[in-house]
Amino acid sequence: MKRWHRVFWSLLAISILLIAIGAVLNPALFAEKMTNPSLNKAAVGPDTPYIVLGMGCFWGAEKRMQALVGVLDVEAGYAGGDMSNPSYEMLHDTEAAIEEGKAVKNHAEVVKVYYDTKQTSLERVLIQFWESHNPTQGNRQGNDLGSNYRSAVFYRNDGERKLAELTRDIYQTNLRAAGITGTITTEIAPLNNYTSAEGYHQDYLEKNPLGYCGLGGMGVAYVDPSRPSHGEQHNSTPLVSKPVQSEQNWPPIELNSKEQLIAFEAVDCGYCRQFDKEVLSTWKNPIHIVTTNLTTPPKDWTLNEALFATPTIVLFRNQQEIARYTGYQGAQQFWEWLNMQ
């Protein structure tokens, strides 16, 4: 018996050591599951309230909505189109047909957000929705182009419709106050033809920590003017860890105002780590490059549009954005892009 005890405790010690090593090498694998203690699929029943939202690619949308305390579960799916029982491939085939002139309405990639009314509200869910993506881009979201990536709220009753429209109008006012002139293009329509997405799309970023990283919206907080403190009462976790978006957060580092590359990254972005390892570690290009976890450039430096994803490498000349490279598909493609500038 003593021998088996020794074997048992040895195996247990090895298992704990391997888990610890895994957490150090890839903390995102563990951090994702610890973000929101309210997540509980088992608590979802036939009467659990939910809302269906389109925010572009549903991988990032799922993660963003899972971060809100009070959300019980988030399911990736398709909604808002003419087809019944659509699939991922059907959406892309339909979008190609639309581009060729076919008169058909495509589904949007969506997330079905189940929430606990004792912990949160539909209004708070919608606030998370508005703050977590760019609702002014029409039939696209960042680099993802097509009506299947449109911003949308699909409601099931008149109360949901009215609240979606009210919060949209408030957030439009917030964008205007922040100097953003774009008009919100979010589709607000009755829910129809909802279909759950394929299994491999569910909890995608939890299964694939190196997957697509988003920046969590336009950097503009939702503030209801009738409740001035509302914007300070959010109890949510952003998609990525990032400092307050302020020019003053830039450290006193040397930058070349004539020509400078800035790599905008994020703490939990796997592709950023790949870019650092495969490109930055052997950097020999004459153009100076720096990295930052901030989402705004230094004071008096100008982006052509808000950042959407990480990594985003921006080339500045005379403190003005000239070109940008979003995402990371390998060192060769990055160098080909840079050599063309």
Q: What are the residue numbers of the active site?
A: 57
Cα Rg of the chain (Å, integer): 22
Rounded to the nearest 5 percent, the helix, strand and coil shares of the chain are: 35, 20, 45
DSSP assignment of 183-218 = PP--EEEE--S-EEPPGGGTTHHHH-TTS-EE--SS
Scanning the chain, the segments in alpha helix (DSSP H) are 2-25, 28-34, 58-66, 88-99, 122-131, 158-177, 204-207, 270-278, 331-339
Closest CA to 55 of 245, 218, 235: 218
Instruction: Pick the closest to residue 310 from 260, 282, 276, 337 (CA basis).
Output: 276
219 residue type, one letter: G
DSSP 316: E
Name residues whose C-beta falls within 8 Å of residue 200's C-beta, 6 or more positions apart in sequence.
Answer: none
| Element containing residue 319 per DSSP (H, E) | none
Alpha-helical segments (H) within 86-152:
88-99, 122-131
- Of 150, 138, 137, 153, which is closest to residue 56 (Cα–Cα)? 150
Which residues share a beta bridge with 278? none
CB distance 187 to 151 below 8 Å: yes
